Amino acid sequence: MYEMFQLKDQIRVCGIDDAPFEFGNRGARATVIGAVVRAPSYLEGVLRFDVAVDGDDATGEIAKALSRSRFEEQIRAVMIDGVALAGFNVIDIRSLSGELGVPVVTVTRDRPDMDSIESALEKHFEDWRERLRMISEIPRLEMETDNNPIFISYAGTSEKEAASLVKATTVRGVIPEPIRMAHIIASGVTRGESKGKA
């Protein structure tokens, strides 16, 4: 576990979300956006890269994009909208945290339905056990908010510190600003206008 950041220092967090893509189009590439935000809500930069739809390269592509960016030395945490990009391109957040040397936190509005996830993975992927392992082995926490609860997973940090990071970067609503900004940018880049919510 890494020495945790001091939230009062306006740390820089990279929020990550994928752009809209066509489900079932395995092998196609989906655009992913990284929003580098100085906590709690000052956007300092944007990264763009892509991953394979339902592929297995999300962990490596995130690591490569961040480690090659000019923000590499400044980013103190990574926040991701869910544990997979572009369908079931599952992110190994423990491996990603280890490679980048910073905490990684995932956030979702919906409670993970592990039975449904296992069924879908087994039906569509030969390596479903490995994908399921990456999802099931990480700790999960239900966080209460002023509205509906959210669900987070984390690596490279403690439950308390992960929850503190989420709270420190959430300005309004329930989704932290780095993820919310990445979602808006990704949607706008693909559709010509942002649509929906993170």
Strands 12-18 and 29-38: antiparallel
pLDDT of residue 190: 75
Let me know: does 78 contact 61? Beta carbons within 8 Å.
Answer: no
Residue 25, classified by CB atoms within 10 Å of its CB into exposed (0-12), middle (13-18) or buried (19+), is: middle
d(CA 184, CA 177): 10
Residue with tokens 């403690």: 158
pLDDT of residue 196: 62
pLDDT of residue 179: 97
All domains of the chain in start order, with CATH: 7-190 (3.30.2170.10)
pLDDT of residue 22: 81
- The torsion angles phi and psi of 97, rounded to 5 degrees, stand at -60, -40
Q: Mean pLDDT of residues grouped by 10 in the chain (198 residues)? A: 54 95 82 95 96 96 96 95 96 97 96 94 95 95 90 96 94 94 91 66
pLDDT of residue 101: 96
d(CA 198, CA 186): 10
Query: What are the percentages of helix, strand and coil residues in the chain, rounded to 5?
Result: 35, 25, 40
